[in-house]
Amino acid sequence: MKKSLWFVIGFAIYAGLMWFYLFQGADANLPVDLKGSAADPKVFMTDRELELSTDFSRIKDFIYFISVPLEWLIYLFVLGFGLSKWFRKTSSGLTKFSIVHTGLYVLLLSFASWVLTFPLRYYSFTVSKSYNISVQSFHSWMRDGLVDFWINWLLTTVMVAVMYWLIKKYEKRWWLYAWLLSVPFTLFLYFIQPVVIDPLYNKFYPLQDEVLKGKILDIAERADIPAENVYEVNMSEKTNALNAYVNGIGSNLRIVLWDTTLNKLSDNQVLFVMAHEIGHYVMNHLYWNLISSVVLSFLGLWLGNIIYRKWVEKYGKSWGIKGIGDLAALPALLLIFSLLSFAVSPVENAVSRKAERDADLYAIQMTNNPKAAVGAFQELATVSLSEVNPPKLVKWFLYGHPTMLERIHFLDSYKTSKKME
């Protein structure tokens, strides 16, 4: 109980410091040499839009930096107060089938986490609504949340069942066998994502603008992308934000545009955005992402196993855990993986930002229309209330893309350099 109190006090202090950093202490002033340039938000945003973008971004950033340690606190709470032991006892007493035990345990743990994090998720939803980024109804938001819950429950149950079977059968090298099995599983998820999982959340249909579709497919053909169609998704039912992407592998490759992007951007701006997404495919970023996830999962499982053993050895008795093969130890394992994921995220984001910069360069070379490129990002920043120059800590942990300041300045500089040639 005393340790739990100290964790809560520590969390409250951390939240206060993070609030001060984001709302008072962070320096997000524009570099002097960029004032008045195309990257200066005062050039393409009104004073009101500037105020809203700053407030909205800082609130959403704060929610993120609170939600991550809250997840850790929940796992510690479930372990420290004996809930995990009770979940295991309850689930094992209902049936003799171990897969059912696992499914019930994961359901109880997932539900406890879902309930405890619901207020913060709901607050995030209401913030997006109040700033007119989200236009989604509460019913639709809850539906998406429940779909997400059950998909995660199913995937987690399968992974946990396999993992703990391996721990019991191969106690010393379970992590290696788990990693080997995760490779085809990850490939499978990449393959089915566009055609099985994504349609559970939104409706996808072929792009209705045949002229624009032809221009996009022309870029895809020049890039040797095996795409026969371009898909539109009806995101305007949920959000005013803009997006487009290429995902999937093999025959399930999909080029997708949000209908909000089509409604807000000109055709030339849309072509730049799609050329950017196509650039990811051309430079094999999708496959590099897959390879990096495989490598990181190897390192994560290896290091996670070491920490997991030490934690169970040191704290297992007080948690009511019988050993590393005890399902009641799952929150400790999930906590370790979450900590490792958070720790490595700045490196992952830095690599991702480099890939995004390369895709921007590919797109501008493919379309040769810097004005449309700059305009696309200016419009995206305005509509999505994106903070053009976020604090460094936010950039390190949250930005897998270059900041809007960096992207617009890069494209504007490209425009200038082209004029000088």
Binding residues for Zn(2+), as ranges, are 276, 280, 356
Contact (CB, 8 A) for 370 and 364: yes
326 given a catalytic annotation: no
Contact (CB, 8 A) for 271 and 286: no
Active-site option among 61, 232, 277, 387: 277
Which residues face 233 on adjacent strands?
Answer: 204, 258
Active-site option among 61, 326, 360, 387: 360
DSSP 8-state symbol, 250:
G
Backbone φ and ψ for 257, nearest 5 degrees, come out as: -120, 130
Query: Please, what is the Cα angle at 235 between 234 and 241, to 5 degrees?
Result: 145
d(CA 65, CA 53): 18
| Binding site residue list | 276, 280, 356
Q: For the purposes of burial, counting CB atoms within 10 Å of the CB of 183, is it exposed (0-12), middle (13-18) or buried (19 or more)?
A: middle
| DSSP per-residue codes, 1-44 | -HHHHHHHHHHHHHHHHHHHIIIII---PPPGGGTTSTT-HHHH
CA count, 13 A, side-chain hemisphere, 103: 12
Which residue in the block uniquely carries the two structure tokens 């986490």?
113
51 given a catalytic annotation: no
H or E element in which residue 390 lies: none
Which residues does the annotation mark as catalytic? 277, 360
